[in-house]
Structures are given as structure tokens and as C-alpha cells.
Amino acid sequence: MTAVGPRPPSIEDILSLSDEFGLNLGEDEVPAYQAVMAGAFRAYQALDSLTEPRPAVAWPRTPGRRPAPDENPYNAWYWRTDIKGNPDGPLAGEQVGIKDSIAVAGVPMANGSRTLDGFVPDIDATVVARLLDAGATIAGKTTASDLCGVAGGHDHPFGTVSNPHDPLRSPGGSSCGSGAAIAAGDIRMALGGDQGGSIRIPAAWCGTVGMKATFGLVPYTGCMGMETSLDHVGPMSDTVVNCARLLSAIAGPDPLDPRAAGLPPNCVGDYMAAVDQDLKGLTIGVLKEGFGHSEWPTLGFGASERVVDDRVRETVAALGSAGATVVDVSVPEHIDAAHVLVALLEEGVCANMLRGNAGGHGWQGFYDTRLMDTFARGWRQQAADLPPPIKTILLVGEYMHRHYHGHYYAKAQNLRPAMRAAYDAALSRCDALVMPTLPFRAPLMPAPDAPIPERMIIALNMIGNVCQANVTGQPAISVPCAMADGLPIGVQFMGRHFEEVTLLRLAAAVERAGDWRAR
């Protein structure tokens, strides 16, 4: 390979940087700095001549195709494929959808955005490689919200994603395509991503199962990052047993992901066995702050619907009748944790995904330089086409960076241990906390020409119960428990770190309590 390297800075470049940072370099000083800097750029040139190691791709595949409108009525699919894995694996023949923020080698990846137009990964994300090794067939890439910045089904450059229960209503997001594809019966399993509830939101509104596992339990390698301390990827499915099957295939350490490299011994549980266990000996804590939400003016979160609270409480009563002990629990920090999440997202996504070009910074793991190069050009050239939530993140995050120099992001990070401790204290009295996944049912989607405030309200106004587990890193699962006027209602269980087994036991018990569609 011919050594190229970055272009060394000109005298004009150095003077411009000097002015920006107030270095007050005189024109007569600049040549000296330019000469000293030349050594660094010779190192960069040498670096450019070295071969970059990349994860190997094991299973053969063809690139697939864009689905025709008549075979994609809910716009749940961005791309369709038929990539077959190990014929002898535990998921042999099982069709699995992959959220389009997750790399599948040789298959286009857009992350719901035109800023990645034409990008085709040359690696499989670790979770994709594990699914293929387990025998799964990759059925395609499910539609993601534009750069995963919207928790509804609107503001998609490739078309609105609809809720199969009512196409006029939101499917939830940002893993909207995964939720809709499962609800429509296209597949039984899919992967989603979750930085503030983006697995559990579409699970609740589409009537599917969705789990955000303990931070780091499921490797994020090969997934497009938003904020490295919040990023999760995980299973979505039609049933709890299929959630357990997916989690069994993808969980465990990954040396390429520092979040998953140093997991504690025995952190991976026997998830399949959990589904068949009864509730004897389990105590469920009914989280006071998870019910009866009024509107949260500071964050624009929506108020609770009475029917949602009532159906979840009925589900909890059924679990009590099935053998669990039910107690009331309070975590006053529930609202403060949401404020922490907002600061982490606004400044972290701006720094890591936008200014950092989806690569993150300062951690030892795999960086997808091809993705970073493509996205760095794409979003800057098409910034005007970014959806309003991403534009807002850029504006807020950059403003806070320039005027407050990371102070509030750092404070939010410093507050996370106290938030974890608050939930840990509650979980010392019980095995899991229970609450509605979302405080209200799927709303009608805004019209394409609706004012920006109206489009923004539905972008994040439902996350009042789901964002806390992203802050604390604790596992949480959403499982459908009832229907009201044809729309699903989800119940969420939040547990101790690496105790996904307990959450699966509880979710399976909800399924056994009867047909949620009839309740």
C-alpha cells in the first residue's frame, strides 16, 4: 500500500487554529511550529501504510435487495436478505431481523438516514456473527429511525413505519422496524438497539417482547454508536421463550468491546431454563413512581393513561396469585435519573456520534474506520436533512460544549452511581421492580407537514419509565400484558445487574397468565 497519510497543515491552517484557540502565534513563529509538527505527520503517514485488522466474516451471503412496497406494507424493512448460518445450531432456520444500525457484511447499512447512503459494511457485528454461528438466517435489515433519534415511527427519509395494530399510530422507536416486523408476523425474532428505551418502546406499542440486558452483557461491536456509556443492543421477539433463545445466542464477553470485555464470571445465565420456572420465592416491587405520571414540564414527558396503570396493576395481582410476593416500593430518584439521561444523550450523542463520527473516543476496542469516514462526510454534507431531534441534539450539545465545557455531562456521569444505588436499595427488598413500560398507548403519528414542536413531542415524550435502566445499566424487559381498544399495553420489569434470568421468569409468568390480546 502506498503511504499517503493526512495532508500536513499549511501556514494558513495553523494561523486559523491559532486564532480559534487564542494561541496568539505570530506569522514569524508559524514555520517553526510547522517544522516540529512534521514529525507527527510522518508517523501518520507510516500508520497509513499498516494493515488494519478487521473481524473475519464467516458465512457466505449475497447482498439482498430493497423490498417492494407490496411486500413491505408497514415499511418495517429497509433491506431483505437470506443469509443462512450454521445448519446445526440451536437457532437453525430461524428467521431473524437485524436493526439497520447493526452491521451485516456485504449488506447496505443506512441507520435510517441518507447520511450513510451507499455504505456497505465489510464486517459482521459480533451479535450478527453469533446469530449465524447459532444457525439463524438473517432475514434482512429492519428500519431504524433516522440516526436512531426518534422514538416514534415518523421522520424517516425512507418512509414512515406503521404500527400493525393500527397503521395510523406510532410503532415506537428507534427500533421501529423490528417491532413492526414481529407484530406483522414477518419474523419471530429481531435485534434492536436501546440508548433510552429504543427496544422496549416499540415492544410495548407493537405488543412484542423486548429486553435491554445489563450494560455490556451483549456486545456492541459493529453497531453504530450514539453514546458509548449508554449503548445497548438486544433481543426482540414474539414470545418470552424466543427472547431467551436470542439472548442465549448473543450474550457474553467480547474482547473487541471494552464494555463486554471484563464481564464478571458466570454473568451469562441459563435463560432457557428460566422460562419454565414458577414464581415461588420471588418478590415483586411495585414502583410507586412508575404509575400515575402527570406531565413532566421539565422534559415534556406525557401523562399516564388510567387504563394503562389499571391493566398493569391487574397483571401484578395475577402474578401475586401465581405465587409471587408483591410489595410497594419507592425510588424518588426515578425522575432525577431521567434528567441525568437527557444530559448524557444531548452532550454524549453530539460528542460521540456527531463530532466523533459514530466512533467514540478514548476506549480500547474495535473502531469501524470505514463507517466513521462515510458518516463524517455524510452528515456534514447533509446536515440540513437531519431530523429535528438530531438537529436539536447537535445544537444543544455543541452549545453546552462551547459554553460549559463538558461540566454538565461530567456531573451527569458523576451522578450515575447514586442513581444505581437508589435502585439497588429498592432491589434489596425485592427481586424486580414492576411498572408500565410506557405510560400511555401508541399515539397517532403527526402529519408530515406538522409543526416541528408537534413532531418533536412524540419523539421522546414516552420515555418516563424506560430511560432509567439506561442510566443505571440494570436489565429491563417489556412484555405485553393487555389490550385496550385494539392497542397493546406493556409491563416492564427492572432487575439487578446480570439477573436477566429473574426478568425472564416474570415475563414468562405474564404470558402464562392468559392471552394478553383478550385482556
Interval 5-40: pLDDT, tens: 899 999 999 999 999 999 999 999 999 999 999 999
- Residue 200 binned pLDDT confidence (cut-offs 50, 70, 90): very high
Does 368 reside within a domain? Answer: yes
d(CA 480, CA 508): 11
Does 60 reside within a domain? Answer: no
CATH code assigned at 225: 3.90.1300.10
Write out pLDDT tens, residues 261-319: 889 999 999 999 999 999 999 999 999 999 999 877 666 788 999 999 999 999 999 99
Residues 358 and 487 in one domain: yes
Task: Give the least confident one: 388-392, 427-431, 450-454.
Answer: 450-454
Cβ-based burial of 18 (10 A; exposed 0-12, middle 13-18, buried ≥19):
middle
Which residue is catalytic, options 101, 113, 162, 174? 174
- Residue 3 binned pLDDT confidence (cut-offs 50, 70, 90): low
State yes or no: is 248 an active-site residue: no
| Residue span of the structural domain in which 222 resides | 69-518
Does 485 reside within a domain? Answer: yes
- Residue 417 binned pLDDT confidence (cut-offs 50, 70, 90): very high
Q: Which three cell numbers stand for residue 175?
A: 427500533
Which of residues 156 and 46 earns the better pLDDT score?
46
Does 239 reside within a domain? Answer: yes
d(CA 126, CA 359): 16
CA quadruple 181, 182, 186, 188: dihedral, nearest 10: 140
Q: Which three cell numbers stand for residue 415?
A: 451522578
Interacting residues of 471 by C-beta distance below 8 A, sequence separation 6+: 230, 337, 340, 341, 344, 416, 419, 420
State yes or no: is 99 an active-site residue: yes
Residues 88 and 44 in one domain: no
- 137 and 80 Cβ atoms separated by less than 8 Å: no
Residues 195 and 165 in one domain: yes
pLDDT at 43: 94
- pLDDT > 70? residue 441: yes
Residues 25 and 160 in one domain: no
**Owner of C-alpha cell 428460566:** 274
Which residue is catalytic, options 113, 170, 175, 198? 198
pLDDT at 1: 40
Does 190 reside within a domain? Answer: yes
- pLDDT > 80? residue 475: yes
Residues 229 and 313 in one domain: yes
- pLDDT > 70? residue 2: no
Say how many domains are in the chain. Answer: 2
Residues 155 and 35 in one domain: no
pLDDT at 168: 95
Residues 141 and 41 in one domain: no
- 17 and 29 Cβ atoms separated by less than 8 Å: no
Q: Which amino acid is at 465?
A: N
Does 330 reside within a domain? Answer: yes
Does 59 reside within a domain? Answer: no
Residues 136 and 43 in one domain: no
Residues 97 and 43 in one domain: no
Q: Which three cell numbers stand for residue 262?
A: 471484563
Residues 128 and 35 in one domain: no
Which residue is catalytic, options 99, 145, 212, 304? 99
pLDDT at 350: 92
Does 163 reside within a domain? Answer: yes
Residues 42 and 93 in one domain: no
State yes or no: is 198 an active-site residue: yes
**DSSP, residue by residue, 138-194:** EEEEEP--GGG--SSS-S-TT----BTTBTTB---SSSHHHHHHHHTTS-SEEEEE-
262-267 own/partner pairs: CB under 8 Å, 24+ apart: 263/216, 263/217, 264/498, 267/214, 267/217, 267/498
Helix (H, G, I), strand (E, B) or coil at 389: helix
Residues 451 and 383 in one domain: yes
Interacting residues of 113 by C-beta distance below 8 A, sequence separation 6+: 146, 147, 157, 378, 379, 386
Cα 78 off chain centre by: 17
**Whose CA is closest to 499, among 517, 474, 482?**
474
